[in-house]
Amino acid sequence: MASLSPAIALLHTKAPSSNSNAPLPPQLDSDDESKIFNVYADEVDDPRDTQRSELISLLPEQVYSPDSKSIRLAFAPRRTGSATQPAAHTLDQHANGSALSVELCVDASPGCGGIVWQAGQILSNYLVHKGRDSLRGKSVLELGSGTGLVGIVAAKLDGKVCITDQAPLLDIMRRNVDLNELSHSCQVAEFNWGEPIPEGIPTPDIILAADCVYFEPAFPLLVQTLCDLSPKGSKVEILFCYKKRRKADKRFFGMLKKKFRWEEVMDDPCREIYSRDAVTLLQLYRI
């Protein structure tokens, strides 16, 4: 196994998950392994840049196995008020003395959703920061799960989780649930945005969504699904992490504000750093 270089770790975080019943975005060629870890290479800044180095420092430690095409991500909580100083103790000390880690198969053949990207890692980091008490026993639904990273982290934090995406990504999500031995607490389901809520999808206490704002035809479908899952008067908590990439993103938020209000999550000790890279973590409230 070889550690990912900082540049590759960053590249590995640049593109979004996919989910919509509109046509899928162009797929990557899974036979070209370099594409899996070098998407959007032209967007990478000079690795000596201080801002970029700070961003890399807050992402989970990553080790890639080329033989199995899997990646291991190790998470640890941060001290409040410091994005670069590790916590005095790791998350799982109360259980087995080790940090929380996730192993994921990555596969570009179903599309860019089969890769782990930046907003998913940042949202996962936040869940780790909040700890088990925030998720224990709660029904958690992830939209646009891709590899399933965020939902798998939630399941490791004792949530009762359902990860969802389009049909082409279900196999990789199932493999990753099995790889992390979470079949007892993390189910996999197909969920196409804009369609009626499928049977078997549990009523959520918490909805998680990371890097779901990028494919313009899906914008109204995602808003509709968020409305369906959080009817007026419901107390469902929605955590929504996204990276601003283009002016068209404003169209999504123009649609969203007709049904939701939102606030930036302020208790994330890493917020100051990732916000400088145009990443925002929001909590949505139905109106």
Per the annotation, where are the binding residues for S-adenosyl-L-methionine?
Answer: 117, 144-146, 165, 193, 210
Burial class (CB in 10 A: 0-12, 13-18, 19+), 119: buried
What's the farthest any 2 CA atoms get from each other in the chain? 50
Side chain identity, residue 210:
A
Token pair of 111, please? 């599309």
Helix or strand holding residue 250 (H, E)? helix 249-256
What whole-number distance in Å separates Cα of residue 3 and Cα of residue 6? 9
Q: How far is CA 11 from CA 8, 30, 84, 144, 254, in A?
A: 5, 16, 20, 20, 29
Q: How far apart are CA 126 and CA 95, in angstroms?
A: 20
> Binding site residues, as ranges?
117, 144-146, 165, 193, 210
Beta pairing, strands 100-105 & 186-190: unpaired
Report which residue type is found at 68: S
The single-letter code of the amino acid at 214 is Y
For residue 87, give every residue at least 6 positions away whose Cβ sits within 8 Å of its Cβ, in sequence order, or none.
76, 77, 78, 79
Residues 134, 281: Cα–Cα separation, whole Å: 17
Q: How far apart are CA 162 and CA 38, in angstroms?
A: 30
